[in-house]
A and B are shown apart, each in its own frame.
Chain A
Amino acid sequence: MKKLGYALLPYLFGLIILAAWELGVRFGGVPEYILPGPLAVVNALWANIGDLLDGLAVTLQVTIIALVLAALTGAGFAFLLAQSKLTERMLFPYAVILQVTPIVTVAPFVIIWVDNIFGVLLILAWMAAVFPIISNTLFGLKSVDINLRDMFRLYGATKVQTTLCLLAPSTLPHFLSGLRIAGGLSLIGTVVAEMVAGTSGERSGLASRLLEASYRLELAKALACFVLLGLTGLAIYSALDWLSRRLLRDWHESAVNAGFSDNEN
């Protein structure tokens, strides 16, 4: 019973905040175009559910494709960087520049150069997501056990064998850790790109609908978009976290010991 209460604690806290919000709005006389209460948001969500899910589908599509592209290119780029000190010295600064440049500032150029709006969103989301994958994978490639490396060399392993049987599995935990960060960033990148690119019409994503609703002072609908985007971010993180545990559960401490922290309480 005590354990159940403990598990429900965060939800209880959330519920109290929501109740306070609803009551405050209702009895404080706040107009709905300034701040709608949570019930109004739920109503707006329900009333527009088909429309919003269409938007979510577009946003999710861009986010996932950008994430997959970031995973492939990021891991490949990291592998290229790890080939020698020279390539790393030559190329890594450009990866950093890619990371520290706010995508909002790049967006106008991408919009001019690429006339397909889906392509624009994809490029901007990819830009946001790729760096943590490069950085973490590179770190993993550099942390490969030196003794194991020696052993592979002593037994005359080819470069391909060393890559597949040593570098890839040894780097996997770091890559996955980068992927988990990149999942959230890919969504953020997509949202920012949608807002800057100002897509509208039928094939517009959830973020552009949020913007549109806020322009029209339909704040309940805008907040409904916001809630959906938040839940999407949570779902992406959970999915990647699950994937990571699934792939590492046999041998990596991070996944093997994951069950203990709950039992200790």
Chain B
Amino acid sequence: MQPSTGQVNRAFAAKPGDVGFVFQDATLMPWAKVIDNVCLPLEISGSNAESARAKAMSALERVGLAEFADTYPRQLSGGMRMRVSIARAIVTNPRLLLMDEPFAALDEFTRFKLNNDLLQLWQANRWTVMFVTHSVREAVFLSERIVVMTQRPGRIAADIRVNLPAHRDAALRLGHVFADESARITLALEQAMATGDQAA
């Protein structure tokens, strides 16, 4: 696709594997065991099978699915499949993680749980994560910086720093600080929608 304007700057020369992807669906290969699904990015880049397996196993451990390595995706729940998808994205040790509404199809509890886990993973690894979501609470809970976009045409309406401590955990969701931040972002979002409507 040709960009109409603008440019992309990267701090690193990207080779496949420097960027991890998590899609809206888990997008796993149904014919491959969980471990083989996670191995895939390494296999494609031609790394040796044994070290790939070890790395995949460690990625599965990090998402809490080590004991499911030898099962097939169809035997897992939606949330577990998403974890496998995340394990596959982080197995190459990426510098940038692109996540496109990864938890949109999950129920609220599973979503909270995966949010907590993702936050922990991030705190341990500190990749740059670009996370697209329609949930304000999810955005506030996970982000350091939130970019609000308008609907068609997709323009940047606001660029907000989140005033929450860098170290967060599940308890944060219960406090009023979190509620205030959520309210602030919701307001920004509503304004963005309003200007979007005017433009349309």
Contact = CB atoms under 8 A, between A and B. Distances in A.
A148 B28 CA distance: 7
Interface string B39-65: 011011100000000000000000000
A74 B26 CA distance: 33
Contact of B16 (A147, A156, A169, A252): A156
Given A165-B29, A252-B31, 11 more contacts: A150-B23, A151-B21, A151-B27, A151-B40, A155-B17, A156-B15, A156-B45, A169-B29, A251-B73, A251-B74, A252-B30
A10 B74 CA distance: 35
Contacts of A169: 29, 31-32
Q: Which of B23, B29, B73 has the most CB of A within 10 A?
A: B29
Interface string B10-26: 00000111010101010
Nearest to A157: B44
Contacts, number: 51
A21 to B, nearest CB: 48
B72 interface: yes
Contacts of A155: 16-17, 40-41, 44-45
Nearest to A161: B44
Nearest to B71: A250
A154 B21 contact: yes
A247 to B, nearest CB: 10
A165 B23 contact: no
A49 interface: no
A133 to B, nearest CB: 20
Contacts of B31: 169-170, 172, 250-252
A259 to B, nearest CB: 15
A252 B32 CA distance: 11
A147 B23 CA distance: 8
Interface residues of B, number: 20
Contacts of B43: 161, 165
Given A154-B16, A256-B74, A166 B29 contact: yes
Contacts of A156: 15-16, 44-45
Contacts of B27: 145, 147-148, 151
10 contacts: A151-B40, A156-B15, A156-B16, A156-B44, A156-B45, A157-B44, A169-B31, A169-B32, A172-B31, A256-B74
A250 B36 CA distance: 14
Contact of B25 (A147, A166, A172): A147
Contacts of A172: 31
Q: Which of A145, A151, A165, A252 has the most CB of B within 10 A?
A: A151
B40 A165 contact: yes
Contacts of B23: 147, 150-151
A152 interface: yes
A157 B16 CA distance: 9
Interface string A217-253: 0000000000000000000000000000000001111
Nearest to B26: A147
A170 B28 CA distance: 12
Interface in A98-120: none
Nearest to A154: B21
Contacts of B16: 154-156
The 5 closest A-B pairs by CB, nearest first: A156-B16, A169-B31, A147-B27, A157-B44, A155-B44
